Structure 1
Amino acid sequence: MPRELIAPAQEQAAFQEYESADLEKGQVRVKSLFAAAKHGTEMSQFKGYASPRGGFDRELRVFDYKGEGVKYPVRLGNIGVGEVVELGPGVTLLKEGDHVFNYGPFREEHIWPETVRTLPAGVPWQAAVCLDPADFALSAVRDGKVRIGDAVAVSGMGAISLLVLQFCRLAGAYPIIAVDPLENRRQAALACGADLVLDPNQCDAGVEIKKATGNRGTDVIIDYSGHPAALQQALRGIAYLGTVVCGAYPGAWPTGLDLGAEAHMNRPTIIFSRANSDPNPDHPNWNNDRIYEVCWRLLSEGQVDCKPIVHPIVPFADLAEEYPKIASHPEENIKLGAHF
């Protein structure tokens, strides 16, 4: 029987076997070749810090703080890439041997609809597994209204932010400043087009951002670290009447964030960005489908480079040991990938 990776309990990873089901009309069987995790969202489940918020009431749009927010076991992994090995009844859009990709956990075999995206020859698989987070990155850049010539700082050099850097470069921003305490992520930021990288543990990042922009500050700061210290530094480094985009989904913060001080004097606009919240801020011209289409065009054309982002890449058989290192060894991880 094929296997998949799950979290049977908080901060645990293990394999479980699952049934290889019969194909229904319009479905294809896909043998996995590659896959990747989505660190931010998956860590909220793996580490369990989404639990205290309870369920989300979609009518009232509030968390109820009741019950258990994370119910284990949870499947781990986000997007898979594979080869079509069997066609279900009525399938006309795909043929055996096609390479396709879709949302799905780390598992050896998937059953997907024939409407999944195909991976063209010559396009690296890393581009496919970066479609999400690319949608969030593009949305953050658009929500921040980054324009040609804008100075931009980005904090928290995970996969989303590394794509934010590249989208800002395409938008004509300069300089683009990356902020992260981890050396591996600062190096990835340089590979993805940052003009300057800062270690917030070794400098006053807000002051250095000001110095790098003629004491003016950046027009836009986009934070995907989800750390209160990063937002505090953003309030120090932002230009007068600039825009701070909060894109992360962190756990509850402790007290200590100072919303007087620079926040009061710099008067920034603070925006919370989330790609898949429709209607889009630019509705009706933009929606989640259009964001995906634009992202995939940029990814498949090679206008952004995803190879520095998907790291490390490990064998599927090692995932039960390697996956927990996303939490325990962030200095070794950016976006965990697997080959089968």
Structure 2
Amino acid sequence: MATVVRLDAPGCVTIAEEPDPPLHATGVRLRTLYSGISAGTELTQYRGTNAHVVKTWDADTRLFVPARPAAAYPAVVGYEEVGEVVEVGGEVDAVRPGQVVWGAWGHRSTTVVEQEYAAARVLAPGADPVLGIFSHIGAVALNVVLDADLHVGETVVVFGLGVVGQIVAQLARRNGARVVAVDALPDRLELARRLGAEVTLDAREGRVAEQVRELTAGRGADVAVEVSGNPKALHEAVRTVAYNARVVTGGFYQGEARGLFLGEEFHHNRVDLVCSQISGVAPRHAHRWDRARLNATVIDLAVAEHLRLRPLVSHVVPFTDAAWAYDLIDRRPEQVVQVVLGFAAPDGCDHRHGDA
């Protein structure tokens, strides 16, 4: 049997068992080592605010229709996993037991994948296996940077310094941009400074747009990236960029966008508002970039230490404490960045109070 972390209803996390998938000839059985909890999409499912929970997505028209889906719960969630190969089918020759594989298969203790899937996602020997949980969320951040179309010498302002924002800030620096990092949580601002942001601004103090203009000789930012999912932050991002500049929205906004005033700077400064969403890549890049390349690029950069992802892990907790972990993320965001569920703890340690 596979042990799974399941959302039975908004705010209700349970541990359940499901039949383990049978191993077929080309299958690879993985034992999960770690699984990251997304503080974006997953948290909206936990809170019951996700659009897929309150409405139904019509795949043919690509429209949400006002009908509550019948099967929103229970659900096995999670899309940031890394595991060890423990068994292979008789026709498998591309991977072997003991190798570590990253991917997305939900908060579950074991799974079976095709050998082609596993072979394309083998983590380099000796790499910290926790890095494997960043393949998807890191790809989200990399896709944002591709949409931002940054250039050497430009100033980019990153609003929201959760996991995605911290990775965006690091990738923007590697693109040659000067990074201004904005958040309302002091610990996240300090983390961004440690990871290389040149300027950090506390959103609680206000005047972000004015301060950025002071930093840019009155011009404003070349690009702003909004990844907090807060409409008020999006409005400030619009205020922060220069005339004819770009704002990239990677945040997952819930409900009405109160606090966003499109008749003000957005209209008068001809701001280009770009949506970045991981289901697709910008048309100008789509012939060269896809999800697989985004995922693999992030992992390669992390293993080579060009991206510092391990410091983003604030907590590693036993998967049996999943309900506690979701509640922590929901109620005390100032205490967390990336929370990871451990499905195997050889050291026997309880890291509920932080592992960074």
TM-score range, shorter chain: over 0.9
1:81 to 1:287, Cα distance in 2 relative to 1, 3 A: closer
Give the structure 2 partner of residue 22 of structure 1.
22
- Please give the residue correspondences for 1:176-255 in structure 2 after superposition, counting only pairs within 5 Å: 176-255=179-258
Aligned-partner residue type, residue 249 of structure 1: F
Give the structure 2 partner of residue 288 of structure 1.
291
Q: Is the 1:53–1:69 contact (alpha carbons within 8 Å) kept by the matching residues of 2?
A: no
Q: Is the 1:279–1:287 contact (alpha carbons within 8 Å) kept by the matching residues of 2?
A: no
TM-score (structure 1 length as normaliser): 0.93
- Please give the residue correspondences for 1:51-62 in structure 2 after superposition, counting only pairs within 5 Å: 51=51, 54-62=55-63
Aligned-partner residue type, residue 243 of structure 2: Y
Q: 2:18 matched to 1:13? A: no
Cα displacement string for residues 68-111 of structure 1 (whole angstroms, at most 9, x for unaligned residues):
38711121322222221112231111111111122122222222
1:257 to 1:79, Cα distance in 2 relative to 1, 3 A: closer
How far off its partner does 1:235 sit? 1.7
Q: 2:172 matched to 1:164? A: no
- Please give the residue correspondences for 1:299-314 in structure 2 after superposition, counting only pairs within 5 Å: 299-314=302-317
Unaligned runs of 5+ in 1: none
Aligned-partner residue type, residue 72 of structure 1: Y
Unaligned runs of 5+ in 2: 345-356
How far off its partner does 1:318 sit? 1.9
C-alpha distance in structure 1 between counterparts of 2:27 and 2:47, whole Å: 34
Give the structure 1 partner of residue 319 of structure 2.
316
Give the structure 2 partner of residue 102 of structure 1.
103
Find runs of 4+ consecutive structure 1 residues off by over 6 angstroms: none
C-alpha distance in structure 1 between counterparts of 2:174 and 2:280, whole Å: 24
1:35 to 1:298, Cα distance in 2 relative to 1, 3 A: same
Q: Is the 1:13–1:324 contact (alpha carbons within 8 Å) kept by the matching residues of 2?
A: no
C-alpha distance in structure 1 between counterparts of 2:139 and 2:270, whole Å: 28
Give the structure 1 partner of residue 35 of structure 2.
35
Give the structure 2 partner of residue 137 of structure 1.
141
Cα displacement string for residues 143-189 of structure 1 (whole angstroms, at most 9, x for unaligned residues):
11111111000011111111111110110001x01111112221221
Give the structure 1 partner of residue 154 of structure 2.
150
Aligned-partner residue type, residue 91 of structure 1: V
C-alpha distance in structure 1 between counterparts of 2:282 and 2:249, whole Å: 18
Q: 2:126 matched to 1:122? A: yes
TM-score (structure 2 length as normaliser): 0.89
How far off its partner does 1:327 sit? 1.1
Q: Is the 1:191–1:308 contact (alpha carbons within 8 Å) kept by the matching residues of 2?
A: no
1:82 to 1:254, Cα distance in 2 relative to 1, 3 A: closer
SS of the residue corresponding to residue 8 of structure 1 reads strand
C-alpha distance in structure 2 between counterparts of 1:286 and 1:97, whole Å: 30
Decide which moves more: 258-267 or 11-20: 258-267
Cα displacement string for residues 190-235 of structure 1 (whole angstroms, at most 9, x for unaligned residues):
2322111112112322222222222221100000111111011112
Q: Is the 2:231–2:253 contact (alpha carbons within 8 Å) kept by the matching residues of 1?
A: no
Q: Is the 2:21–2:111 contact (alpha carbons within 8 Å) kept by the matching residues of 1?
A: no
Q: Is the 1:53–1:63 contact (alpha carbons within 8 Å) kept by the matching residues of 2?
A: no
How far off its partner does 1:53 sit? 5.1
Aligned-partner residue type, residue 37 of structure 2: A
Aligned sequence identity (%): 28
How far off its partner does 1:36 sit? 0.8
Q: Is the 2:81–2:106 contact (alpha carbons within 8 Å) kept by the matching residues of 1?
A: yes
C-alpha distance in structure 2 between counterparts of 1:219 and 1:283, whole Å: 24
Q: Is the 1:226–1:250 contact (alpha carbons within 8 Å) kept by the matching residues of 2?
A: yes
Q: Is the 2:156–2:177 contact (alpha carbons within 8 Å) kept by the matching residues of 1?
A: yes
